[in-house]
Homo-oligomer: A and B are copies of this chain.
Amino acid sequence: MSSLGPKQRIFASLADIAQAIGHAHRLEILEHLAQGERSVEDLAARIGLTIANTSRHLQILRRARLAEPRRDGKRMLYSLLGETDVIALLKALGRIGERNVAEIEVVMASYFRTRDALEPVSRQDLLARIHDRSVTVLDVRPEDEFAQGHLPGAINIPLAALERRIALLPRDQPVIAYCRGPYCVLSVEAASALRRLGFDARRLEDGYPEWKAAGLQVET
């Protein structure tokens, strides 16, 4: 009993990692870190937590070796540790949730599909249409996230500024909107608004982090 077998020890460590992603706030933190490195303050503001609470959750992610800080002047910038693997883990978690969990199906149906009845566009589809130049790629994340990396040739119009800057979008070809990931609502809202305005608009099935993790080209 005192000393566990090697399998048990490994499972105990893996369980610690699973515990670390077992909280909604931490999943949201990871979603933001997947866009690029972020300060504690920045994360707290974006998610709506206190600084202290955000710091605590970051410590948990850090202990589980999912995120890592580096100091930059007086702020600490956190980023994913082993970005691609973390995104793959979150993707595997999301897939199982979407396939097995009724509650998620309900949310997807009641929110995403009523606002955006059309099927999302897959990465492969979008890649092909970028090559054809038969599509406008629209990044609706805030400007600072866009600046940290985005899809090749994408135009950045944050959701809040969409109606104001609508003239930037050509009307003669379809628009594909994307944002932070499969559960980020920005691209849903954007596609919905654009269709109301007469555009042929759809959204990418997931977001920038998944694109990057798939090894596809990105711009800075």
Residues of chain A whose beta carbon lies under 8 Å from any beta carbon of chain B = 5-19, 21-24, 26-28, 65-66, 81-82, 85-86, 88-89, 91-97, 99-101, 103-104, 107-108, 111-112, 183-185
Contact A17 B93 (CB under 8 A): yes
Bound CA span A91–B19, Å: 16
Contact A107 B28 (CB under 8 A): no
Measured CB to CB, the nearest residue on chain B to A115 is: B6
Contacts of A107 in B (CB 8 A): 6, 9-10, 13
Copies in the complex: 2
Interface centre among A11, A12, A111 (most CB of B within 10 A): A11
Q: Is the interface of A mostly helix, strand, loop or mixed?
A: helix
Contacts of A16 in B (CB 8 A): 22, 101
Q: Which of B15, B86, B104 has a CB less than 8 Å from the CB of A96? A: B86
Q: Nearest Cβ distance between residue A69 and chain B, in whole angstroms?
A: 15
Given contacts A89-B96, A92-B92, contact A27 B15 (CB under 8 A): yes
Contacts of A93 in B (CB 8 A): 14, 17-18, 89, 92
Given contacts A7-B28, A11-B27, A86-B96, contact A101 B17 (CB under 8 A): yes
Contact B103 A92 (CB under 8 A): no
Contact A85 B94 (CB under 8 A): no
